[in-house]
Amino acid sequence: MEFGPSVVFYPMPCGGRVETIHLLRALEEGADRVVVITCPRGQCRYGEGNLRAQKRLLYARSLVREIGLEPERLEIRPASLGSALRIDEIIRPILLEAWNLGPSPLRRAQRKDTGGITGDNSGEKALR
């Protein structure tokens, strides 16, 4: 599924498969914004995978805060209850939201070192 060059899409079988390290690595590789989309509360087909994703994301935020990066660059969005939308119908509104954190300071720092990553690059992890 394509959302344009600025969006990287990682399908996962369940929110429970999202590990803290995945979130950190996404930022390390230059993502400005990471959005984890999970099944709605109470509707995880495997039990509590969406709750685990939530906890890990909160933990990842604390780790990100430790290095002076904005924790809000990591987000989690449970899809709203009863939505029978396709994944692109869920993602497009998120992309259209006003989001004002700007490019990740890491990209600027990396550009200094390595000649840089161009483009507006939000990495997204999305789940069915």
Partner 1 sequence: MITAVRKPFDEIREMVAPYESVLLVGCGTCVAECASGGEKEVAILASQLRMDASLRGKRLEVGETTLDRQCVYEFIDRLSPLVEKYQAILSLACGAGVQAVSEIFPEAIVLPGLDTTFLGQTREAGLWIENCRGCGSCKLQWFASICPITRCAKRLLNGPCGGSRGGRCEVDPEVPCAWNMIVERLRKVGRLELLEDVYPPCDWSLAQGRGPRKIQREDQAIETV
Which residues of the shown chain bind partner 1 in the complex (CB under 8 A)? Answer: 19-21, 24-25, 27-28, 63, 66-69, 105-106, 109-110, 112-113
CB of 102 to partner 1, least distance (A): 15
Cβ closest to partner 1, residue 47 vs residue 93: 47
Beta-bridge mates of residue 122 = 7
Contact status, residue 38 vs residue 44, Cβ threshold 8 Å = yes
Task: Find the shortest distance in angstroms from Cβ 88 to partner 1.
Answer: 30
How far apart (Å, rounded) are the C-alpha atoms in residues 77 and 61? Answer: 15
Structure tokens belonging to residue 96 = 């259209």
Q: What span, in angstroms and rounded, lies between the C-alpha atoms of 61 and 128? A: 23
C-beta of 25 vs 45, nearer to partner 1: 25
Least Cβ distance, residue 112 to partner 1 (angstroms):
7
What is the C-alpha to C-alpha distance for residues 46 and 25, in angstroms, rounded to an integer?
Answer: 25
- Cα(14)–Cα(44) distance, rounded to whole angstroms? 8
Give whichever of 25 and 86 is closer to partner 1, judged by the CB atom.
25
Write down the least CB distance from residue 86 to partner 1, Å: 33
Cβ closest to partner 1, residue 63 vs residue 87: 63
